[in-house]
Structure 1
Amino acid sequence: MTIEKGDFIRVSYSGKTDEGRVFDTTEEDVAKANSIYNEKGKYGGDVVIVGAKHTIAGLDEDFVGKEVGYTGSVTIPPEKAFGHRNPELIESIPATKFTQRVQVGMPVEVDGRPGVVIRAIGRMVQVDFNRFLAGQTVTYDYEIKEKIEDDEGKVKGLIGLYVGKDLPVQLNDGTATVEIEPEMTYSQRWLMSKRQIAREVIDNTGIKEIIYIEKYNKEVLEPVVRDPELEVTE
């Protein structure tokens, strides 16, 4: 079963730098072994649409023409990974701009832009606003676990990819109904993703409409537990 653009596939992968440092993985044991485990993360493989830019370009392109069950590696140059480094994105920022003492290697945000401190001397701090791993060649080891054929699996897969949740999905005459968890009301990740999920479902499946519903009862209302990491900020 050859993989083509537009196919929904479940893939497991681990990304490594030239030095062999694992920076991303879908495998829980690999994440723990490399100290990048996230207890809120979803492991076991991601469902992606081939050609939809759900992964970096070099990895996305390598899926095409492979078979389900394929296991291999691909080395990806910067232009098809995280881009080239731009020296102009390394800026000197007054130390007074930060509310806490900064250290080299610390992630920071300046005027809404994420960056990393690369130097701190006196009253000035140098911050690198380049994309994570910009300028580096990376290698991905991956396995194509399955091709998703049914629409329910496709909807569930995209929800899992974007928000890391396994939500109930019901299909009826071209309409997909998704029951969301009450605490997701406060999730910025969900609020930013739900429209994109609907767009990709409608554009890439036989589903014509997607409905999100919230269901409340006494059990879920007492209490509603909010995750501070998912709070919507003003």
Structure 2
Amino acid sequence: MAIEKGDFIRIKYTGKFSDGMVFDTTDEQLAKDNGIFNPRGVYGGDIIVVGSGQTIKGLDEDFVGKEPGYSGTLTVPPEKAFGKHNPALVETMSVTKLGDQLKGKNPYPGMPVEVNGKRGVIAQIIGRRVRVDFNHALAGKEVEYEYTIEEKIEDKLQKVKGLIALYTGVTDIEAEVTDDLIRIVTPLELSFNQRWLVSKMNIASELIERLGIPHLEYVEKHPYVPPTEEAPAEEAAGTTESEE
């Protein structure tokens, strides 16, 4: 059956520039070979919801009408990839505005910086002033994707785990799904995962809508840590005396 908007699919892909340079891939070995491996990344394939904007627009649109098992190559123009380069997002400012980010270093072209909560890179240095580009790093670039639609996901539990992995990079989430409840057990380490803190409400809303299940609850899981046994007061005192 052909892929439609709203379907959950598992995809493998590799994104390249026109010169063949790889900038993104679900293939772990290929990522390592091209120096873009992220130890916190998820490799082996992504589960996404077609038409929900979880990948670039041109690729998202190309999934529709394809059959599971399809493999192909797609060239995506900037406006349907990472956007056109917007000159209005390039700002000139004093070096002093970068504050402690320099940490005693001299600024240089390509240096990543953050100003007023916006991330950018230094594009040019003019005396004691810098031009900072806040466009996406790939804005203005035509890209090429090789991709395979491995399968259409029908199992609801797989959909839950796949969407959480896409948003957070965590693949070993414990969860259960019934006709009226999605229960997701969140391990303690997720409390420190910034991607989780930002995305948990979006994940809940999307799962409730996409799966047609009315309720979702997050359950925090804290491992039992036995209390440390302390020596009896008399024993402790005796030890002190003997040491004296």
TM-score with structure 2 setting the length: 0.87
Q: Sequence identity of aligned pairs in percent?
A: 52
Task: Give the partner amino acid of 2:186.
Answer: I
Distance 2:218 2:73 in 1: 38
1:173, distance to aligned residue in structure 2 (A)? 3.2
- The superposition leaves residues 168-214 of structure 1 with CA deviations (integer Å, 9 ceiling, x where unpaired) of 11123321111111011122211111111111111111322111111
1:13 aligns with 2:9: no
Q: Which residue number corresponds to residue 173 of structure 1?
A: 179
Give 1:57-76 correspondences, 5 Å limit: 57-76=57-76
Q: Is the 8 A contact 1:27 1:44 kept in 2?
A: yes
Give 1:127-206 correspondences, 5 Å limit: 127-166=132-171, 167-206=173-212
Q: Which residue number corresponds to residue 53 of structure 1?
A: 53
In structure 2, do the counterparts of structure 1 residues 135 and 9 end up closer, same or farther at CA, with 3 Å as the change threshold? same
For these two proteins, the number of residue pairs brought into alignment is 222
Unaligned runs of 5+ in 2: 229-244
In structure 2, do the counterparts of structure 1 residues 220 and 162 end up closer, same or farther at CA, with 3 Å as the change threshold? farther
Task: Give the partner amino acid of 1:3.
Answer: I
1:134, distance to aligned residue in structure 2 (A)? 1.0
1:145, distance to aligned residue in structure 2 (A)? 0.7
SS at match of 1:201: helix
Task: Give the partner amino acid of 1:183.
Answer: E
Distance 1:149 1:108 in 2: 43
TM-score with structure 1 setting the length: 0.90
Distance 2:152 2:226 in 1: 36
1:219, distance to aligned residue in structure 2 (A)? 4.4
In our comparison, the structure showing a higher alpha carbon Rg is 2
SS at match of 1:59: helix
SS at match of 1:218: coil
Q: Which residue number corresponds to residue 116 of structure 1?
A: 121
Higher mean alpha-carbon deviation, 46-55 vs 172-181, is at 172-181
In structure 2, do the counterparts of structure 1 residues 125 and 64 end up closer, same or farther at CA, with 3 Å as the change threshold? same
Moved over 2 A (4+): 217-222
Q: Which residue number corresponds to residue 82 of structure 2?
A: 82
1:19, distance to aligned residue in structure 2 (A)? 2.1
Q: CA RMSD, aligned part only?
A: 1.7
Distance 1:219 1:120 in 2: 54
